[in-house]
Amino acid sequence: MSGLEGSVAFITGAAQGIGAVTALRLARDGAKIAVVDLEEAATKATVRAIEEAGGSAIGVACDVSDDGAVLAAVEKTVEELGGLDIVVSNAGVTRDNLLHKMTDEDWNLVIDIHLKGSFHVARAAQAHMVPNKRGKMVFLSSTSALGKRGQTNYSTAKAGLQGMAKTLATELGKFNINVNAVAPGFVDTAMTEATAARVGMSFEDYKAQIVSQIPLGRTGRPEDVANVIAFLVSEDASYVTGQVIYVAGGPRA
């Protein structure tokens, strides 16, 4: 895929994992990238990698659960990069626990980052996309949206993002704005490695257990997800909106 030359992409949670790899992929396709994460210092490695590959990027600090911070981050992106054409809402955290052990703090943090944060980003972005009558939004959902033990907060947030994508696709379609969700399965990242540690397993043993249930016989890579996002924000997907695409090595929906 290519053809993103002149576009500006705002990618949250882009300091590492899927977000960082997506930032690199969209930069390779020609987009200028706002690498957005909680601390600007954390964005530097991704920004450097993009620049060393010949792309253009800035680092932007933003707590997506704070509406004012999101508005400021979007405005900085527009001012420094010249516009806003693409949003990838990827920022996320986990606080897994069984329902009777899950605290209000665990619930609120996960919902605020994933669900409220994506709402803030979408609302700020559409203010620039609607007048231009063009834009692409992608929300990062998960196979956990289908239900997963110990993830009441995370599963609820990820299911909510699917509803958000479908609703905004309906609302914003008349402005030529495409809104979709990508739902990864198990992807080899720092977050899934932390999950293995939390359940008391080595990462390799944990992955082996997961792989036994995946039809394609391997875990996902961040690149697998980034490639689908790259398609959805390209003109090749101009007639694709309101969809949830599972990137899970097998049928999951």
At 194 the pLDDT is 74
Segment 119-126 mean pLDDT: 98
- Largest pairwise CA distance in the chain: 51
Assess whether pLDDT exceeds 90 at residue 210: no
The pLDDT value given to residue 1: 53
Q: Which residue has the tokens 């495409």?
A: 178
CB 154 within 8 A of CB 144: yes
User: C-alpha 241: how far from its chain's center?
Assistant: 16
Do residues 19 and 91 make contact, with C-beta atoms less than 8 angstroms apart? yes
| Residue closest to 178 by CA, chosen among 246, 126, 116, 225 | 126
Q: What is the pLDDT of residue 130?
A: 98
From 200, 189, 171, select the one nearest 225 (Cα to Cα): 189
The confidence score (pLDDT) of residue 239 equals 98
Of the residues 154, 206, 239, 246, only one is catalytic, namely: 154
Over 70: is that where the pLDDT of 253 sits? no
Per DSSP, the three-state class of 219 is coil
**DSSP states along 97-147:** B-GGG--HHHHHHHHIIIIIHHHHHHHHHHHHHHHHT-EEEEEE--GGGG-
CA dihedral over 83, 9, 120, 253, signed as positive or negative: positive
Strands (E), the chain: 8-12, 32-37, 57-61, 86-89, 135-140, 177-184, 244-247
- What is the structure's pLDDT at 16? 96
Picking from 62, 68, 20, 17, the residue whose alpha carbon sits closest to that of residue 37 is 62
Beta bridge partners of 135: 177
Q: How does pLDDT run across 157-202, given as a tens digit for each residue?
A: 999 999 999 999 999 999 999 999 999 999 988 777 777 777 788 8
Across residues 50-56, what is the average pLDDT? 98
- pLDDT value of residue 215: 93
Cα–Cα nearest to 173, from 229, 242, 86, 88: 242
| pLDDT of 17 strictly over 70 | yes
CA distance 60 to 139: 19
Question: Residue 2's pLDDT is what?
Answer: 59
pLDDT tens for 228-248 read 999 999 999 999 999 999 999
Residue range 88-104: mean pLDDT, rounded: 96
Question: Which helix (DSSP H) or strand (DSSP E) does residue 250 occupy?
Answer: none
Tell me what pLDDT residue 201 has. 82
Residue 88 and residue 137: Cα distance in Å, rounded? 6
pLDDT on residue 208: 86
Strand boundaries in 38-75, DSSP class E: 57-61
Let me know if 246 is a catalytic residue.
Answer: no
